[in-house]
Amino acid sequence: MTVTPADELTCREVVELVTAYLDDALPSDERGRVDAHLAGCEPCMEYLRQMRLTIGALGRLPEESISSDALSELRKAFRSSKP
């Protein structure tokens, strides 16, 4: 597939799509456009890398680091979701 200039994403668009990209939630053509942009854009690659590091760091947070407010909010949400 040839990528015409009209298909090319801007850095701003790539940044906006990065969460959907990491969730593998993009349609394949759009995913391809993000990949094409990333392949030629060092700053966006760096942004993606930092996003992955952020997610990794969040996954290593100890449980007690979540504030009790946030936990009680979540419990409330959880309870109300149960049938």
Partner 1 sequence: MSFIRNPPHGLDGANTSGVVMLRLALVHHPSRAVAEEIVQDTWLAVIQGIDRFEGRASFKTWLFRILVNRAHTRAEREARDLTTQAISALPPGQRQVITLRDVEGWPSEHVCNVLEISETNQRVLLHRARSRVRAAAEHYFEGELS
Q: Which residues bind partner 1 (CB under 8 A)?
A: 16, 18-20, 23, 25, 49-55, 57-61, 65-67, 69-70, 73-74, 77-78, 81
Q: Which is nearer to partner 1, 2 or 79 (CB)?
A: 79
CB of 31 to partner 1, least distance (A): 15
Nearest-10 Cα torsion for 55, 19, 75, 82: -140
d(CA 34, CA 28): 10
No. of helices (H) and no. of strands (E), the chain: 4, 0
Q: Which is nearer to partner 1, 5 or 56 (CB)?
A: 56
